[in-house]
Amino acid sequence: MGIFDFYLLETIINGVLFGGVLALLALGLNLVFGVIDVIWIAYAEIVMVGMYIIYYLNVVLGWPLVFAALASILGVGVVGLLVHALIISPLLDTPPINQLLATGGLLFFLQSFATLIFGAEFRNLGLSMPILQFFELYISFSRLLAFGTALVGMIALYLFLTRTYIGTAIRAVAQDREIMSLMGVNTRKVYLITSAVGGGMAGLAAILLVLQQDVHPFIGYTFGPITFMICVMGGLGNLLGGFLAAFIMSQIISIGSFYVSTELAYVIAFILFIAVMFIRPEGLFQRRA
């Protein structure tokens, strides 16, 4: 019995760390979702672009990992900017579902473009990240790193949104976009900056993901859906809510995988999401308006 509880403890700790990865993934999407009210259905594929940037610079061109990582943040930030400028902004006045579908086209495009350039093979950096041992507990270092980065990323984003002028403008636009443009705020600029920052967050998530997973063109399907669910469950644009929702989902998946199987654990997580949508469509942690 003692052994049993022990494995469960390890499962729970790994679940917390996995939650860090999910929380980090959700940050950028949450920002874009909350401010522009657009779902980038290709968000996971944009993260994939970052993973390929790091792979290409580090493995093919032989750049040091740190520079490759910085290039990922910048590069994906530019991708975010382009997504808004080229796809979202011509569609801002159309039904919201059109924006979602257009980024769905982007999903196909990025997936197959990656296949075209890198092929369907699984690629990795060839690094083996250490596994830390605390007494009898084995914990993956890369997950610990992701957890820490998610925490730092969230705090940084929070400070950016509350302590800077442009951050305040972003929050104001999120609250009421029509009034803010009447007040003389250049909403287009605010949207572009938000998209770039959201993209940069995706680039950050890509760094942590590429350290622990192989990258392949269809990797987006593995973590894309769960990322959307987390954002919505936490309440749109609610950074802390998204963070908490990431940990709820990761615990369900982690403990579910432990007791039944990974697939059924995801099934439970998705069904919970559907149920939450029925009961509290504004998200678990959103104050009712």
Partner 1 sequence: MKRWLPYGCIALLAVVPFAPVPLYYLHLAILILIMGLICTGWSLMGKFGLVSLGHGGFMGIAVYPMALLWNHYGLTPWLGAPIGVGLAVLLGVLIGYPAFRFRVVGHYFALITLALGEVVRLSIIAARELTGGSLGMTPLRVQPITDVSWYAVQFTDKRYFYVIALVAWLGGLWAWRLVNRSMARSALEAISEDEVAAASVGIHVTSQKLRITLLSAAMTGLGAIMLGQYNQYLNPNSLSGISISLEIVFASIVGGMYTMLGPTIGALITIVFRESLRAYFGATLTGMAETIYGLLLILFIIFMPRGLWGFVVARFAHPTGDTSRLEVAATR
How far lies 130's CA from each of 55, 73, 144, 211, in Å?
19, 24, 11, 11
| Binding segment toward partner 1, per CB under 8 A, in 48-56, 65-73, 102-110, 182-190 | 102-110
Query: Could you tell me the smallest distance in angstroms from the CB atom of residue 115 to partner 1?
Result: 3
Q: Which residue bears the tokens 């919505």? A: 232
Under rule CB under 8 A, residue 102 binds partner 1: yes
The DSSP result for 58-119, as a single string, is IIIS---HHHHHHHHHHHHHHHHHHIIIIIIGGGTTS-HHHHHHHHHHHHHHHHHHHHHHH-
Site residue total, partner 1 (CB under 8 A): 48
Residue placing its CB nearer to partner 1 in the complex, 183 or 271: 271
Under rule CB under 8 A, residue 109 binds partner 1: yes
Residue placing its CB nearer to partner 1 in the complex, 126 or 281: 281
Under rule CB under 8 A, residue 101 binds partner 1: yes
Q: Which residue bears the tokens 């990323």? A: 153
Query: Could you tell me the smallest distance in angstroms from the CB atom of residue 232 to partner 1?
Result: 6
**Under a CB-based contact definition with an 8 Å cutoff, are residues 198 and 103 in contact?**
no
d(CA 92, CA 271): 31
Provide the token pair at 168: 């305040």
Given 6, 7, 108, 259, the residue binding partner 1 (CB under 8 A): 108
Footprint of partner 1 (CB under 8 A): 39, 41, 87, 90-91, 94-98, 100-102, 104-116, 119-120, 217, 221, 224-225, 228-229, 232, 261, 263-264, 266-267, 270-271, 273-274, 277-279, 281
